[in-house]
Copies of this chain bind each other. A is one copy, B any other.
Amino acid sequence: MRDVTPDNITEVFTGYFGPDTDPRFKEVMGALARHLHAFTKEVGLTHDEWRAGLKAMEWAAEITTPERNEFVLMSDVLGLSSLVDMVNSHPGATSSSVLGPFHVSDAPPIAMGADLKGDFEGEVLLVQGQVRDLDGNPIPGAKLDIWQTAPNGLYSSQDPDQDIMSFHGLMTADEEGRYAFTTVRPVEYTVPTDGPVGQILNAAGRHPWRPSHLHFIITADGCRELVTEVFPEDDPYLDQDTVFGVRRDLVMSYEPQPAGTFPEGFDLSGKVDGAWSKVNFDFKLLRR
């Protein structure tokens, strides 16, 4: 086009697509360009602001490694990652929520009633529930890949003092789709703030905290994989998760239990003297 204008640029852009372009590619790229064009026009983006955006990308490029991806974090704090989770959630199923960067592949299998707490300090937390389909039928043998922070707020992959598989386990649900394990309460933590995302949060007057949570990836034959997190209702950051991961159906509660009531059937049975807490959380998976 020899006469590109702010009014026709989106049209010119879509006019450049070749005749054999994949229709979905065209739809996604065309919409991306249209919304970015609308943004640029609406705010009258200046050259300095455009350059500041590019500087943020260049800085993100410099500090991104296989272990620390600043582009994913940028998507997280803009709410994009959570929005992708939400638009791909099925209304009847348990909501998905951000995977985050701290998942470790090949977690060790753990048996029903196993313990993740080990020698770490803190009150024993018993977590249990059932994996069902949308009709309420249990899903026997569902696999639950479980991980969380240690009491110091660090995941094993961040903490040289932890074994890499500390607070990680892969549990197989029983014949009734039930799972149960012991651990300690996960704690709230901050996203990394030493890059452009930290600078953006700071300029926005936002804190970098996430509410504490237990991570789960749940898979079962014939079901859609569920990547999610569950959050305690009494967490101070529940209403201000900096990556927008909380959904109403992912909120659970710690139920305090008096000393001397810890049940049989757990690795820790007979070893819990004081008070402990319990979480009941059921998952609903979508059958494909």
Contact = CB atoms under 8 A, between A and B. Distances in A.
B6 A83 contact: yes
Interface stretch (A108-116, A122-130, A166-174, A240-248): A240-248
A87 B244 contact: no
Interface of A: 1-6, 9-10, 12-13, 16-22, 25-29, 31-47, 49-50, 54, 57-58, 60-62, 64, 69, 71-72, 75, 78-88, 200, 203-206, 231, 233, 238-242, 244-248, 251
B28 A43 contact: yes
A80 B81 CA distance: 23
B29 A204 contact: yes
Given A6-B83, A79-B9, A79-B33, A239 B21 contact: no
Q: Is the interface of A mostly helix, strand, loop or mixed?
A: helix
A78 B69 CA distance: 24
Nearest to A40: B83
A195 to B, nearest CB: 12
A17 B75 CA distance: 17
A2 B246 contact: yes
B20 A248 contact: no
